[in-house]
Amino acid sequence: MSRDLSEVIGRVVPAPENHLSPELLDKARKARRSFMGKALAMGAGAVAATASATRALAAEGEDVILNLPEHTTGLGQPVAALGYGQPSKWEANLQRRESPGLTRVSQASVSFTPLQGLFGIITPSGLHFERHHQGWWDIDPSKHRLMVHGDDGMVKRPRVFTMDDLMRLPSVSRIHFIECGANSAPEWGNVALPSVQYTHGMLSCSEFTGVLLSTLLEMCGIDKKRAKYVLAEGADGSSMTRTISIEQAMDDVIVAWGMNGEMLRPENGYPLRLVVPGVQGVSWVKYLRRIKVGDMKWATKDEAIHYVDLMPDGTHRQYTGIQECKSVITTPSGGQTLLDRGYYNVTGLAWSGRGTIKRVDVSFDGGRNWRTARLEGPILPKALTRFNIDWVWDGKPAILQSRAIDSTGYVQPKINQLRAVRGTRSIYHQNAIQSWLVSENGEVSNVQVY
Ligand SMILES: Nc1nc2c(c(=O)[nH]1)N[C@H]1C(S)=C(S)[C@@H](COP(=O)(O)O)O[C@H]1N2
Ligand SMILES: [Mo]
């Protein structure tokens, strides 16, 4: 796997990741270079007092303060965004991106969430990552059905639901993260993908609305003594089928139609998907068409051939669904450029499939010293948690890391600690501490620190 991935690195679409337009970013880099050159010529002592790249940019923009621009003196547009609103044209760089060589095999594909450009914990629906095993569909909701049944009389009143049947039932709205089990997989094999969008972007967090699976199972008369597992099946050609324990099925699993206040997007399973909080994305079956109750694990193709973990001794771990505690700094992160020394708000995300985030520590020297970051509310179970920490960059090389601790006391491991247990040939469940190197020229890149 690592060989294939290393071939990909040169082919991912390079994108300027700062919040400046490519032209401004280029200007700032040039200004910084000429400033550094002059400073070097003048000797190290003169560096601190000289004008900086960002100040040069600010001076150029003073025109906007002194002479009122057209948007201050002219008439604005009347309700321009009739219909469905769109982001500003200046934000065109904020996009889901595909890493063509990575996973695109016919209709099996991935698009990654641009974590480096997001704030707070909610992923805008149009930037929610996608993972399709057999392409996506825009299914007519009036023709969609969900069947709930069981093996051997384990469901007393098996039933087929229409969307209208489901949407009149008691609903819940809850914020949860979804992370593909293969998120950050290339790090197993020392493959340093260039940006956080590619290293961690199979991760999103939304408010999901739907009926609890427990409500449906109760309605259909589940035999609580005999039922041990449920099987969820999707309606697309991949026949995605996943086993879920009855404990989780009766706890917080949602049969969802809503995402961030509106119906699910087609690429995320419209009109119906399963939400399995804390569990890897593959169990969040999209285009959900069937729930079956039984007393044994099904060992379907997606549980026996795929989504198993190859251990150092050559055996496979199976049914390792829970996404362990993990975190990543999203700014500054790979592909971004620090334009100047001085103050930065370092920010990132932490999450755990086992509960809430208790603490996040941040290191600026590759893990020698740690400081505790500020957690921003709300801090919700099985949801992303935003953290922030102050940093003053002195212009010297630095290695930024974040380490999350969850409500069970679990501490996010270093990559070599994880490899000691799991080896190097895994694909799934790579939750190690991520390291970003800030070079003297301000450029940030992906490195591994043992
Ligand atoms: N029906 C169906 N459900 C599916 C998939 C699929 O291909 N078909 N992909 C799974 C995988 S591997 C992941 S990671 C998540 C991705 O959900 P998303 O595309 O909404 O991000 O959906 C899961 N559910
Ligand atoms: Mo996935």
Residue 414 placed within a domain: no
Ligand (nearest to CA of 132): 1
**Residue whose structure tokens are 């699976």:** 213
Whether 112 lines ligand 1, by a CB cut-off of 6 Å, is no
Residue 309 placed within a domain: yes
Whether 29 lines ligand 1, by a CB cut-off of 6 Å, is no
Distance separating alpha carbons of residues 138 and 140, to the nearest angstrom: 7
* Residues 52, 340 contacting (CB under 8 angstroms): yes
Distance separating alpha carbons of residues 27 and 320, to the nearest angstrom: 49
Residue 364 placed within a domain: no
The crossing angle, in degrees rounded to 10, of helices 22-42 and 53-60 is: 130
Span from the CA of 202 to the centroid of ligand 2 (angstroms): 8
Measure Cα distances from 190 to 187, 197, 215, 293, 444 in Å. 5, 17, 45, 41, 17
Whether 240 lines ligand 1, by a CB cut-off of 6 Å, is yes
Residue 249 placed within a domain: yes
Pocket test residue of 103, 240, 243, 264 for ligand 1, highest count of atoms within 8 A of CB: 240
Pocket test residue of 241, 282, 429 for ligand 1, highest count of atoms within 8 A of CB: 282
pLDDT digits (tens, 9 = 90+) for 63-94: 778 888 888 889 888 876 678 999 988 898 89
pTM of the predicted model as reported, rounded to 2 decimal places: 0.90
Span from the CA of 63 to the centroid of ligand 1 (angstroms): 50
Whether 133 lines ligand 1, by a CB cut-off of 6 Å, is yes
Residue 165 placed within a domain: yes
- CA-closest candidate to residue 95, choices 201, 171, 190, 8: 201
Q: Which residues of the chain have pLDDT under 50?
A: 1-14, 42-51
Ligand (nearest to CA of 427): 2
Residue 90 placed within a domain: no
* Residues 191, 434 contacting (CB under 8 angstroms): no
- The DSSP symbol for 382 reads T
Q: What is the DSSP string of 125-161?
A: GGG--EEESS------GGG-EEEEEEGGGSBSS-EEE
The tally of domains found in the chain comes to 1
What range does the domain containing 239 cover? 128-183+203-317
The burial class, CB within 10 Å (0-12 / 13-18 / 19+), for 51 is: exposed
Residue 284 placed within a domain: yes
Whether 136 lines ligand 1, by a CB cut-off of 6 Å, is no
Query: CATH no. for residue 302?
Result: 3.90.420.10
* Residues 353, 278 contacting (CB under 8 angstroms): yes
Rounded to 5°, angle at Cα 46 from 44 and 48: 95
Q: Which atom of ligand 1 is nearest to the CA of 268?
A: 20
- CA-closest candidate to residue 433, choices 383, 379, 381, 361: 361
Distance separating alpha carbons of residues 253 and 293, to the nearest angstrom: 14
Span from the CA of 150 to the centroid of ligand 2 (angstroms): 26
* Residues 190, 448 contacting (CB under 8 angstroms): yes
Span from the CA of 129 to the centroid of ligand 1 (angstroms): 10
Question: For residue 83, what pLDDT is reported?
Answer: 87
The burial class, CB within 10 Å (0-12 / 13-18 / 19+), for 286 is: buried
Tell me how far the alpha carbon of residue 57 is from its chain's centroid.
33
Measure Cα distances from 36 to 23, 33, 442, 445 in Å. 20, 5, 11, 20
Ligand (nearest to CA of 137): 1
Residue 39 placed within a domain: no
Ligand (nearest to CA of 240): 1
Span from the CA of 38 to the centroid of ligand 1 (angstroms): 53
Question: For residue 35, what pLDDT is reported?
Answer: 57
